[in-house]
Amino acid sequence: MLVLLHELMWGQDPFADQPIEGVEVTADRARWGEADVVVFHGPEHRPELRPAKRAGQLWVALSLEAAAHYPLLTDPAFLAEVDLTMTYQQDADVPLTYADAFGDVAGMVFQLRAPAPPKPRAVPVASFVSGAVDRSGRSTYLRELVRHIEVDSYGSFLRNRSLAEDHGRATKVAVIAEYRFAIAFENARGTDYVTEKFFDPLLAGTVPVYLGAPNIEEFAPGRDAYIDAAAYEPAELAALLTRLSNDDEAYQQHFAWKAEPLRPTFTRLLEPERQRPLRRLVRLARARREAALPAGGPN
């Protein structure tokens, strides 16, 4: 099976570390005529640049970006042309999450179960907001919040702290682990659009202060695992975080879920992650191809 990436995902092959025997992945558009599956990266795709669909070819729309930023991802005409979707939306044919379990769901659950580490920082809140794109109102909210409570900001937005060294996500999680709370504000508010901003604090043993998806409760591993900023005005939220910072018993209640069974909605979210995305796509593509064969199979 030949899988053609019509566009790389922001210049990267999203399947580079997912080899499957009998499956070749290429970004060479000259091989369009051979491709069994063509993957379009929705945010970068320009429909006018693609050839006509080859008979038997499956088209796939891939995106981890909020649909609010890219109208093509909700365009009925575009969606009618593709056969399969690979997106963060949980009703996608191949749902993708930002949980980053990558086939090691057991390892992720083990990390979530670990006790919350000590919180040595005097400042209660950490923030890593950098992106200028904002369709959630996070910039306005955060700017007002810092008027009422101290926030150590390592992102480019309202930066007042810097990292001694930065090794990417691992460094970010390690820093977040030292704070009681972490700002987890999405750049857009959309159903199912829940990024690593929410999951990283959970993995660090810190309470996420979340602003984003209206159905965030479906992504929580247990009760009181996060604080919903949308339920409070900034001054009210600051008062709550201050109170919890000064009441360790009340604060620890936000980790009671670690000793309880994980919510069924959360375990269902992780279940697909036991297989890498390319393997799930190939399995589904093969099933679609077999279903399209005439009775009796190929001659």
Q: If you compute the radius of gyration of the chain from its CA atoms, what whole number of angstroms results?
A: 22
- Confidence band of 59 (pLDDT split at 50, 70, 90): very high
Only one residue has tokens 């900001």, namely 153
The predicted structure's pLDDT at residue 132: 86
In the chain, pLDDT over 90 holds for what percent of residues?
A: 84
> Domain coordinates of the chain in residue numbers?
2-99+275-292, 105-271
The predicted structure's pLDDT at residue 299: 44
Instruction: Give mean pLDDT, residues 83-112.
Output: 89
Strand 2-5 with 207-211, pairing: unpaired
Q: Dump pLDDT digits (tens) for 203-224.
A: 999 999 999 999 999 999 999 9
Q: Dump pLDDT digits (tens) for 4-58.
A: 999 999 999 999 989 999 999 999 999 999 999 999 999 999 999 899 999 999 9
Q: How far apart are the first and last CA of the chain?
A: 19
| Tokens describing residue 146 | 């810092």
The predicted structure's pLDDT at residue 249: 97
The predicted structure's pLDDT at residue 104: 85
Classified as helix, coil or strand, 288 is helix
Q: Which residue has the higher pLDDT, 104 or 79?
A: 79
Q: Dump pLDDT digits (tens) for 267-287.
A: 999 998 889 999 999 999 999
State the pTM of this model.
0.92
Instruction: Give mean pLDDT, residues 190-212.
Output: 96
H helix or E strand, kind and range, residue 61: strand 58-63
The predicted structure's pLDDT at residue 289: 84
Does domain 105-271 bear CATH number 3.40.50.11660?
A: yes
Phi-psi region of 204 (alpha: psi -120 to 50; beta: other; left: phi over 0): alpha
Where is average pLDDT lowest: 155-169, 174-188, 248-262?
155-169
| Contacts of range 253-256, beta carbons closer than 8 Å, 24 or more positions apart | 253/224, 254/207, 254/224, 254/225, 254/226, 254/227, 255/115, 255/116, 255/205, 255/207, 256/222, 256/223, 256/224
Q: Beta-carbon neighbour count of residue 196 at 10 Å?
A: 16
| Tokens describing residue 14 | 């999203």
The predicted structure's pLDDT at residue 139: 96
Q: What is the DSSP string of 193-204?
A: ---HHHHHHHHH
H helix or E strand, kind and range, residue 228: strand 227-228
The predicted structure's pLDDT at residue 61: 97
- Alpha-carbon distances of 179 from 128, 210, 212, 245, 287, rounded to whole Å: 12, 15, 21, 10, 47
- Confidence band of 174 (pLDDT split at 50, 70, 90): very high
Per-residue pLDDT at 241 exceeds 50 = yes
Beginning with the edge strand found earlier in the chain, give each strand of the sheet holding 84-87 in spatial order. 24-26, 2-5, 37-41, 58-63, 84-87
Q: What is the DSSP string of 77-125?
A: HHHHH-SEEEESSTTSSS---SS--TT-HHHHHHHHHSPPPP---SS-E
- Alpha-carbon distances of 60 from 234, 282, 284, rounded to whole Å: 41, 11, 11
The predicted structure's pLDDT at residue 293: 63
Per-residue pLDDT at 191 exceeds 90 = yes
At what angle are helices 105-113 and 196-204 packed, to 10 degrees?
A: 60
The predicted structure's pLDDT at residue 32: 96
Average pLDDT, the chain: 93
Q: Dump pLDDT digits (tens) for 143-163.
A: 999 999 999 999 999 999 999
- Confidence band of 103 (pLDDT split at 50, 70, 90): low
- Alpha-carbon distances of 174 from 1, 122, 169, 197, rounded to whole Å: 41, 16, 9, 14
Instruction: Give mean pLDDT, residues 174-202.
Output: 97
